Structure formats: structure tokens, C-alpha cells
Amino acid sequence: MDNASPVACIGECMVELSERPDGSLSRSFGGDTLNTALYLARLGVRTDYVTALGDDALSDEMLSAWAAEEIGIGLVARVPGRLPGLYMIRTDPSGERRFLYWRDSAPVRHLFQLPQIGAIERALCGATLIYLSGITLSLFDAVSRDRLFAVLARARDVGVKVAFDTNFRPRGWPDRAVARDVYARAFGHADLVFASVDDHALLHEVTDADPATVLDHVRACAVGEIVVKYATPVCRVVADGADLEVTALPVSGVVDTTAAGDSFAAAYLAARLCGERPGVAARAGHALAGVVVRHRGAIIPRAAMPTRLSARSSP
């Protein structure tokens, strides 16, 4: 793909520590929008990652790793004396994972207050598409979110598309009422929304959420393209006059669902940016996610990347 302007993914990447059965730790990096940015880059989409890091060795390692994946790092602000956020994964004997976070002072939380933000905002207005998530929104205080929404409005005024993924994590918000208000604003600034039944149930504290309810909730905000992900491996896509359900092919040997949604979003966006129809894009999303869940961790080996995700002959 040779898109004239890059996709810009806004968010946070943290240092990830995974505890092994013997108590030792392995280290890597993780973040929802970073995962999507990486898979977009692997699919041939010019992609910039927009965040803030420190000037430490770990931040340097992150940037080197992103550059090696051909992710643009020119919109990463560096903050002297600061460190990136960190989280640890502990897995109990039943396989249930628990996350511990140290991220309150991560530099990305002040991204919209940094001296570099003016140049970053101008670059966002020159992107093809801006991608962000509910986790992105949870990073910022009210003033910073206002500035972010203002940038999204200016970008859309000059033709930039905005994609919003509802990834909702309750621990990132002071309370759900605040989150619901912010999500409603995000829907109003988005051209494409990836929503899930699970996110909707958590955000609105309901047990009977269904795809139709989620769709109606998002559609009420005049969003033109909506992908609703079910609790099962099915999604409903409403876009370009189409309204269809797309079921994923059966996947055997699932070992880790980390980044399934992030990779789905990457393949869907890559297909749509290539001009593919919504159903084709959804099948591409399912196909990449189906490969990702057969590997441990968010990022699969390059050799495991599918060589073909979609076909123009599909509806």
C-alpha cells in the first residue's frame, strides 16, 4: 500500500513484565494502539505512533523496536527525566491473568501539555486517518481531552478520518459516569467505531447487552461506519449502505487472546484503506486475529504473518 499520508495511532506503550512459574520475569513492551500500529505497518500501511516517552534506556529500546517494524517515530515526544509506564502480568494456577500497573506518572499523560504538541497536532491534521481507543482517552485529564477532541475536529474539517476503538478498562477511569460522557464525545468525533458487546456491558454496567443495542447506541451519534464485535467470533458491520454479519472461520489451538481486537482493527483498516468493501475488511480482520490468538503475546513472529487476508471477489 502506498497511501500518501500516514495513519496516526495515538496511545501509550508500556514496559511489560511477565512472571514465569519459577518467579523470574521476562520483559517486553505492550499497548493496545501500539499493537494496532505495528500490525498496520506489517500490512504495508505507513503508520506513525503518537505518544510521549522518557529519555531513558527503556524508551530508547522501544523506539528502536518500533523503527525496526517501520513504524514512524517522528511524533514521539521525549521528556527528560521521565520513565515509561510499567505493568506486570501474574498468572494463577488456573491460567487466569492478573495485571499490576505502575503508570500514573508516565510522560504520555502530559502529552497535550508538552512543548512538542503544536507540531504533533499539525502532523495529525495531515494524516490519512487517526486511530485511538478508549484506553487512549483514559490517559488524559479533562483539559487534555478537550484539546484532543479539538484536534480531531480540526483534522476532520480538512478530510482526515477518525477511527475509535471502544477498548474499555474500568481501572483507567475515576468512575463510569465520566467514561460514558467521554465516550459519547468520542463517538461524535469518529467516522468509524469499533465497538464490542463486552465493552458496552462494562461501560454501562448491564448484563443484557446485545449487538443491536450497541449498534443503536453508537449509530445515535451519527457515526457513518460501525463494526460491532460480538462475544462470539462474529462481527456486524454497518457501512456504505451494507449491514451484514461476518463470522470468523473456526480457529484451533488458541493459546492467548491478547491483541486479538487490536490486530482485527489493523487488518480491517488496512483493507478499507485499500478500497476493500466492509465485508472483505471484516474477513481480513478475523483472519489476522485468528493467527494472532495461536501465538503467545501480542506480537506474532513476522514469519507467521498471513500473506493474503482478503479477496476483492467477496461481498
Residue of 32, 165, 199, 262 marked catalytic? 262
Q: 7-299: CATH homologous superfamily?
A: Ribokinase (3.40.1190.20)
What is the per-residue pLDDT for 314?
Answer: 38
Question: Which tens digits make up the pLDDT trace of 109-119?
Answer: 999 999 999 99
Task: Evaluate if residue 57 carries a pLDDT over 70.
Answer: yes
- Residue 271: band (very low, low, confident or very high) from pLDDT cuts 50, 70, 90: very high
Spatial contact of 214 and 196, defined as CB atoms under 8 Å apart? yes
Joined grid coordinates for residue 72: 514512524
Question: Which tens digits make up the pLDDT trace of 197-229?
Answer: 999 999 999 988 899 999 999 999 999 999 999
Residues 139, 142: Cα–Cα separation, whole Å: 10
Task: Evaluate if residue 65 carries a pLDDT over 50.
Answer: yes
Name the H helices within the chain: 32-42, 57-68, 117-124, 134-138, 142-157, 176-188, 197-204, 211-219, 260-273, 278-292
What is the per-residue pLDDT for 200?
Answer: 96
Torsion angles phi and psi, residue 76, rounded to 5: -100, 115
Decide if 262 is catalytic.
yes
Q: By percentage, how much of the chain surpasses pLDDT 90?
A: 77
Residues 13, 31: Cα–Cα separation, whole Å: 4
The helix-helix angle for 211-219 and 197-204 (nearest 10°) equals 70
Q: Please return the burial class of 314, using the count of CB atoms within 10 Å of its CB with bins 0-12, 13-18 and 19+.
A: middle
Exposure class string for 76-92: b at 16+ Cβ within 10 A, else e:
bbbbeebbbbbbbbeee
Task: Evaluate if residue 306 carries a pLDDT over 60.
Answer: yes
Least confident window among 16-20, 112-116, 241-245: 16-20
What is the per-residue pLDDT for 99?
Answer: 78
Average pLDDT for 131-160: 98
Residues 253, 256: Cα–Cα separation, whole Å: 9
Per domain, the residue ranges of the chain are: 7-299
What is the per-residue pLDDT for 219?
Answer: 93
Mean pLDDT of the chain: 92
Beta-bridge mates of residue 7: 47, 129
Spatial contact of 193 and 269, defined as CB atoms under 8 Å apart? no
Task: Evaluate if residue 310 carries a pLDDT over 50.
Answer: no
Joined grid coordinates for residue 187: 463517538
Span between the terminal Cα atoms of the chain, in Å: 21
Average pLDDT for 221-244: 95
Spatial contact of 237 and 226, defined as CB atoms under 8 Å apart? yes
Contacts for 255 with CB less than 8 Å, ≥ 6 apart: 293, 294, 295, 296
Joined grid coordinates for residue 245: 454479519
| DSSP label of 177 | H
Report the predicted TM-score, pTM, of the whole model to 2 decimal places: 0.93
